[in-house]
Amino acid sequence: MKAKTCMAAVLLVHAALAHADSTDPDDRGAYLSLAFGNGRIYGGNATGYQWMRGRTFEVRAGREQGAMRIDFVHYNEGHPDNNHRDGFALQWLAAHRFSHAWTGELGAGPYLSMNTTAINGRQIDDARLGVLLSAGLRLTVPGPPGTHLRLGYNHTAMRHVHRSDALVLGIGRQFGPAEPAPEVVPDGRLWFGSTLSWALTNVPGSHEARAAVLEARQYADRWGIGYKFLFEGDDGAHVDRRGVAAQLWYVQPVTPRLSMSAGLGPYFAANRRDDDRTATNLLVSFQAERALSPRIRAVINFNRIKTFRKTNDRDLFQVGLLRRF
């Protein structure tokens, strides 16, 4: 799960930086960063080797508003023994510029985590809601305006399970304000699309599966409503699931033709490897979207399917197109 998640994170940030326009870093707009590092877990259910083995990373996509910023964070806490935890956080950050080159920031927010671990000899994907506290120091570097190195510290706190501390180092960029180019402005019409996908169940003993997603979406300024038909494929052990999801999306323009978005909503699905049991799940999505023409958009999408059954959560990666009709 972690290697695939890391690859998706790199693709998302690379897509954003590759299509970036030069803007004034003092203007307010989208924020993107990618950082890697190492850390340690302790307390609670921490056992064995407690260091994260250098596999810690975070992806941030946010929006600056004055001295404040709101970030959507995908955070991976590496691979200590028997605890492979990652998840999503929504953070409010306060930033202070010490000089032209140096900026500090402090942030906090809720953190929905999923931990692949064994409890009483049974491998599960344990979901917990906690808090992610962060501090960062940014150093302006040569490059497009707003580009910087970011040294970050993350602390996760959850009741009844382990806590963690980690340092990460990476690159980020504060973009200026951006509105969609006039010829590619979403005008309220429906967009339809399909994506080639692959799925990975977050439990050992399962295989990757080929998947497919059909999607309809409608935009209204910075917000969107999306509907998905998901065909997750068969992992040979736990999941052969299909169903329909509805999501509310927040869209953050990065450049006139590139945007990042986050979506959240219920996913109603039946699992053929669980006696066709139908359940209501949670679908969390993180997407980079590039307008290729007034009618066509390319998308790269990372989804987490949270079942709350502890044994058949999944990561789903999508690459495909949306078209306006």
Supply the pLDDT for residue 16. 45
* The token pair that represents 2 in the structure block: 């972690």
Residue whose pair of structure tokens reads 């999508």 in the numeric block? 318
Supply the pLDDT for residue 141. 97
Supply the pLDDT for residue 7. 46
Asked if 53 and 99 touch (Cβ cutoff 8 Å), the reply is no
Instruction: For residue 184, give the 3-state DSSP assignment.
Output: helix
CA angle in degrees (0–180, nearest 5) for 209-210-213:
125
pTM score over 0.95: no
Asked if 177 and 197 touch (Cβ cutoff 8 Å), the reply is no
**H or E segment to which residue 13 belongs:** helix 2-18
- CA atoms of 170 and 12, how far apart (whole Å): 15
| Residues paired with 200 in a beta bridge | 315
* The token pair that represents 115 in the structure block: 């931990």
Supply the pLDDT for residue 295. 94
Q: How far is CA 123 from CA 5, 266, 281, 309, in A?
A: 20, 25, 20, 12
Supply the pLDDT for residue 13. 44
How many CB atoms sit inside 10 A of residue 239's CB? 27
Q: What is the pLDDT along the chain (325 residues), one digit of tens a residue?
A: 444 444 444 444 444 444 444 334 444 799 999 999 999 999 999 999 999 999 999 999 999 887 899 999 999 999 999 999 999 999 999 999 999 999 999 999 999 999 988 877 778 888 999 999 999 999 999 999 999 999 999 999 999 999 999 999 999 999 998 888 888 988 788 999 999 999 998 877 778 999 999 999 999 888 999 999 999 999 998 899 999 999 999 999 999 999 999 999 999 999 999 889 999 999 999 999 999 999 999 999 999 999 887 778 999 999 999 999 8
* The token pair that represents 239 in the structure block: 């999941």
Supply the pLDDT for residue 317. 95
Asked if 137 and 170 touch (Cβ cutoff 8 Å), the reply is no
Backbone angles phi, psi at 183, to 5 degrees: -75, -10
97-114: burial string, b at 16+ Cβ within 10 Å, e else: eeeeeebebebbbebbbb
**Which residue segments constitute the domains of the chain, with CATH numbers given?**
2-174 (2.40.160.20), 182-324 (2.40.160.20)
* The token pair that represents 324 in the structure block: 């306006």
Q: Dihedral of CA 291/296/300/301: which sign?
A: positive
Distance of CA 221 to the CA centre of its chain: 21
- CA atoms of 162 and 154, how far apart (whole Å): 14
Instruction: For residue 155, give the 3-state DSSP assignment.
Output: strand
**H or E segment to which residue 245 belongs:** strand 240-255
- CA atoms of 163 and 85, how far apart (whole Å): 11
* The token pair that represents 177 in the structure block: 């304000």
Backbone angles phi, psi at 13, to 5 degrees: -70, -40
